Amino acid sequence: MRAEGEALAGVEDAVAYIARLRQAPDKSILPVGRRVVVIGGGNTAIDIAIQTRRLGAEDVTIVYRRGPATMGATGHEQEFAQVNGVRIRHWARPTRLLGSDGRLREVEFQPTALDSAGRLQDSGERYSLAADMLFKAIGQSFMPDPVSAGAGQLLELEKGRLRVDARRATSLDGVFAGGDCIGGGADLTVQAVEDGKQAAHAIDLYLKRR
106 and 169 housed in the same domain: no
Percent of the chain scoring above 70 in pLDDT: 93
Note whether 92 and 127 are same-domain residues: yes
Mean pLDDT value across residues 113-125? 90
- Cα 31 to its chain centre, rounded Å, is 19
Whether 108 and 174 share a structural domain: no
202: how many CB neighbours lie within 10 A of its CB?
A: 17
Split at pLDDT 50, 70, 90, the class of 150 is low
Q: Are residues 118 and 171 in the same domain?
A: no
Q: Distance (Å, rounded) from C-alpha 130 to C-alpha 74?
A: 27
Residue 151: pLDDT over 70: no
Per-residue pLDDT tens for 74-86?
888 999 999 999 9
43 contacts 77 by C-beta, under 8 angstroms? yes
Q: What confidence score (pLDDT) does residue 40 get? A: 96
**Considering 136, 165, 199, which residue would you say is the last residue of a domain?**
136
Q: What is the CATH number of the domain that holds 78?
A: 3.50.50.60
Same domain, 128 and 75: yes
Residue 6 DSSP label: T
Which residues are CB-neighbours of 162 under 8 A, at least 6 positions away?
A: 144, 147, 155, 156, 170, 177, 181, 182, 183
Q: Is the pLDDT of residue 153 over 60?
A: no
Edge-to-edge strand list for the sheet holding 59-63: 11-13, 133-136, 35-39, 59-63, 86-89
Number of helices and strands in the chain (H, E): 4, 11
pLDDT average, residue stretch 149-170: 80
pLDDT higher than threshold 70 for residue 12: yes
Residue 144 domain flag: no
Residue range 155-163: average pLDDT? 84
> Looking at the structure, do residues 35 and 72 belong to the same domain, yes or no?
yes
Looking at the fold, whether 122 and 171 belong to one and the same domain comes out as no
Give DSSP secondary structure letters for 33-90.
Answer: -SEEEEE--SHHHHHHHHHHHHTT-SEEEEE-SS-GGG-SS-HHHHHHHHHTTEEEE-
Q: Are 52 and 32 in contact (CB under 8 A)?
A: yes
Query: Any idea what the Cα angle at residue 75 is, between residues 69 and 77, rounded to 5°?
Result: 130
Q: What residue numbers bound the domain in which 82 lies?
A: 11-136
Asked which of 136, 170, 186 is the last residue of a domain, the reply is 136
Whether residue 74 is found in the same domain as residue 103: yes
For the chain, the domain total comes to: 2
Answer yes or no: is pLDDT of 149 > 50: no
| Position 94 pLDDT exceeds 50 | yes
Instruction: Answer yes or no: is pLDDT of 29 > 80.
Output: yes
Check: CB of residue 164 under 8 Å from CB of residue 184.
no
- Tell which residue, 52, 109, 107, 56, has the closest CA to residue 81: 52
pLDDT given for residue 152 in this prediction:
57
Predicted confidence (pLDDT) at residue 148 exceeds the cutoff of 70: no
